[in-house]
Homo-oligomer: A and B are copies of this chain.
Amino acid sequence: MLTIANKTFNSRLFTGTGKFSSAALMEDALLASGSELVTVALKRVDMNDPQDDILRHLQHAHINLLPNTSGVRTAKEAVFAAQLAREALQTNWLKLEIHPDPKYLMPDPVETLRATEELVKMGFVVLPYIHADPVLCKRLEEVGAAAVMPLGSPIGSNKGLKTIDFLEIIIEQSKVPVVVDAGIGSPSDAAKALEIGADAVLVNTAIAVAGQPVQMATAFKMAVEAGRIAYEARLAKPLNTAIASSPLTAFLDETSMAKFSL
């Protein structure tokens, strides 16, 4: 079972709320995913309306909200957004996203570290979204990040685990949970992340824009579970020489072949 900041999760699949064609479809997909941690952008929530449409669709006992700061460009903006989020959504959990770049939405390492340090002091449970940078991950851990969320590839690109060489180093070194976020484009990508030892993945785009989001959410749920089981059951390493599953045989001697002469 996965534990982050004293909260335990049965599901290692975290999800998001963007890009669904309707809030009802989003709800169905998130329920199918089994996800217990769902990130929501502050902007999408009408904080003055207790009946806000998105929030209403997320009111399930097993779903924990993870507000994110998508859209902020500096630590200062992030801290402000975090406070708004805590007040509005009544949770001190936060997915910290600081991305000054409007095209690729790559995260800012320096502002993210600064904001994490500040927000931890303010009592937030901070899960920072970052590049797959092993040293940055250690530094975030040192200032109190509850988990680290390195990217697999650019957000929404569906390109998969392009950073796998660095994710492996991060997983080897991290003392807090590692959640692979961004770029996971298919259930096989998600399974792979778990197989190499990631503690969880966060998936949004690949579910939301699939032909059938609810079924795709189910597929991700199963793939994540499969990946985790495989990690625990210990995969064998790739080899450079083939080893036959069925060993070569010498059973075909001339005598017996004669019997079935062709």
Contact = CB atoms under 8 A, between A and B. Distances in A.
A227 interface: yes
Contacts of A12: none
Interface string A111-141: 0010000000000000000010111101100
A212 B188 contact: no
Question: For the complex formed by this chain, how many copies does it contain in all?
Answer: 4
A238 interface: yes
A42 interface: yes
B225 A212 contact: no
Contacts of A234: 210-212
Contacts of A71: 246-252
Given A186-B195, A244-B70, A248-B102, A238 B157 contact: yes
A144 to B, nearest CB: 15
A209 interface: yes
A49 to B, nearest CB: 15
B135 A107 contact: yes
B204 A245 contact: yes
Given A43-B249, A223-B222, A246-B71, A216 B204 contact: no
A23 interface: no
Nearest to A71: B249
A28 to B, nearest CB: 13
A84 interface: yes
Interface stretch (A2-10, A55-63, A75-83): A75-83
Contacts of A52: none
A155 interface: yes
Contact of A106 (B79, B169, B222): B169
Contact of A247 (B41, B80, B106, B157): B41
Interface of A: 16-19, 39-44, 68, 70-72, 76-77, 79-81, 83-84, 97, 99-110, 113, 131, 133-136, 138-139, 153-160, 162-163, 165-166, 169, 173, 185-189, 191-192, 195, 204-206, 208-213, 215-216, 218-223, 225-227, 229-230, 232-252, 256-257, 260, 262
The 6 closest A-B pairs by CB, nearest first: A211-B234, A71-B249, A41-B246, A156-B243, A43-B249, A70-B246
